[in-house]
Amino acid sequence: MQTLSNPQTTPETTPAFDTTIHRRQTRPVPVGNVTIGGGHPVVVQSMINEDTLDVEGSVAGIRRLHEIGCEIVRVTVPSMAHGRALADIKARLQETYQPVPLVADVHHNGLKIALEVAKHVDKVRINPGLYVFEKPKPDRTEYTEAEFNEIGQKIRETLEPLVISLRDQGKAMRIGVNHGSLAERMLFTYGDTPEGMVESALEFIKICESLDYRNLIISLKASRVPVMLAAYRLMVKRMDDLGMDYPLHLGVTEAGDGEYGRIKSTAGIGTLLAEGIGDTIRVSLTEPPEKEIPVCYSILQSLGLRKTMVEYVACPSCGRTLFNLEEVLEKVRAATSHLTGLDIAVMGCIVNGPGEMADADYGYVGKQAGYIALYRGREEIKRVPEEKGVEELINLIKADGRWVDPE
């Protein structure tokens, strides 16, 4: 019989709950000098919005994104001319900056373009709903199995040359399903559903596997978060059943802009990451692409998947607050935001003990009117007048040898 233990346990004796995210095991897929999957940190990516024919503009856009932490940059190639321009973009990056892992987005009936760009980029993204594009027939009432298979055969023939090219060059492919552009045959067979999205991806994966090509990354984006969540979860289940371990690229399409765009992306991407699903992410905002990168990093940092900035733990303040918390947090942040890796707590008081600070490395805590206490972990180190608080916090970090001067 199970016995209940005394709930009045100290932190030391509390049973250790597993708070780490167990990431789904995936195969490593190299994209230029970055690896997606295989236990590597979740990769951040975005897409420039310059016209790919504008070589100098595109090079500048790629560089801008890469310099702020975007690890893989996507460009669109609507025509052969755009595809050829990628050769110049790649060369200019090499001459004026450094190689940046590039992905080319190929859409409608894009075999020829895909074969061209496969020579220049590290990964080609195709959309199964558009790669072999059959115009939907408005008067259609059914899709026979024979018709379904006939197009399936055409897809195989059209995909093969691209797969062989990428396979032989050791490059990657993203099979990027989009809920809004499922092929008519999938819509008729599986409906406008996560199942249709998953089957669409699996059809392409199986063709790749039959040619012994497995440098694949899969995405199943939708603009509705519940649809996107269901599609990725179903994909994971189907891949597990089939013994497939392809990494997943997460994103919510057309998330919009501003606060809601960020929250919507976080709801979709963050939920899956918390379940261990996802190897690379893109937050799609209707804003300059540079704005997407901090959101990606905030999602990853908040889940403990990457540490790219100082983690500030701060209470919301209340009637007990002994100083202007917003102002102090701002001052502490201004002084310490370059100390990536540290956790710093700023608390109005310690109402429930130092554990409230979520075990931050350092704490700045209101103690009595005009005085604050500085903590190292759970230990109070000293009390100082409020106006010396930030300075003394810096001194404490320096004394511990954990300070570096800002660049």
For residue 358, give the amino acid letter: A
The Cα angle at residue 33 between residues 31 and 34, in degrees rounded to 5: 60
317 sits near ligand SF4 (criterion: CB under 6 A): yes
Partnered with residue 347 across adjacent β-strands are 365
Identify which range of 45-53, 127-135, 198-206, 309-317 contacts ligand SF4 by CB under 6 A: 309-317
Per DSSP, helices labelled H in 292-402 are: 292-302, 325-336, 389-399
Structure tokens at 158: 């059209």
379 — phi, psi (to 5°)? -100, 125
Distance CA 210, CA 256 (A): 39
Q: How far is the CB of 303 from ligand SF4 (least distance, A)?
A: 24
321 sits near ligand SF4 (criterion: CB under 6 A): yes
Q: How far is the CB of 212 from ligand SF4 (least distance, A)?
A: 59
**Nearest residue (CB) to ligand SF4, 126 versus 315:** 315
Do 158 and 111 form a contact (C-beta atoms < 8 A)?
A: yes
349 sits near ligand SF4 (criterion: CB under 6 A): yes
**Nearest residue (CB) to ligand SF4, 79 versus 321:** 321
348 sits near ligand SF4 (criterion: CB under 6 A): yes
Cβ neighbours of residue 319 under 8 Å, at least 6 residues apart? Answer: none
Options 351, 358, 399, 404; binder of ligand SF4; rule CB under 6 A: 351
Q: How far is the CB of 391 from ligand SF4 (least distance, A)?
A: 22
Q: How far is the CB of 324 from ligand SF4 (least distance, A)?
A: 12
Q: What number of helices (H) and strands (E) belong to the chain?
A: 12, 15
Identify which range of 64-72, 174-182, 300-308, 346-354 contacts ligand SF4 by CB under 6 A: 346-354
Residue 318, annotated ligand binder? yes
Q: How far is the CB of 322 from ligand SF4 (least distance, A)?
A: 7
Structure tokens at 220: 């199943």
DSSP symbol at 148: H
**Nearest residue (CB) to ligand SF4, 251 versus 366:** 366
Q: How far is the CB of 395 from ligand SF4 (least distance, A)?
A: 24
Burial class of 311 by CB neighbour count within 10 A (0 to 12, 13 to 18, 19+): middle
The Cα angle at residue 139 between residues 135 and 142, in degrees rounded to 5: 90
Taking the C-alpha atoms of 391, 394, 398 and 404 in order, what is their torsion angle to the nearest 10 degrees?
-120
Residue 349, annotated ligand binder? yes
Identify which range of 57-65, 251-259, 294-302, 310-318 contacts ligand SF4 by CB under 6 A: 310-318
For residue 207, give the amino acid letter: I
**Nearest residue (CB) to ligand SF4, 242 versus 318:** 318
Options 55, 272, 315, 360; binder of ligand SF4; rule CB under 6 A: 315
The Cα angle at residue 152 between residues 146 and 158, in degrees rounded to 5: 140
- Tell me how far the alpha carbon of residue 216 is from its chain's centroid: 17
Residue 315, annotated ligand binder? yes
Identify which range of 103-111, 165-173, 193-201, 312-320 contacts ligand SF4 by CB under 6 A: 312-320
360 sits near ligand SF4 (criterion: CB under 6 A): no
Q: How far is the CB of 367 from ligand SF4 (least distance, A)?
A: 11
Which residues are known binding-site members? Answer: 315, 318, 349, 356
Q: Could you list the residues that contact ligand SF4 (CB under 6 A)? A: 315-318, 320-321, 347-349, 351
Which residues are known binding-site members for [4Fe-4S] cluster? Answer: 315, 318, 349, 356
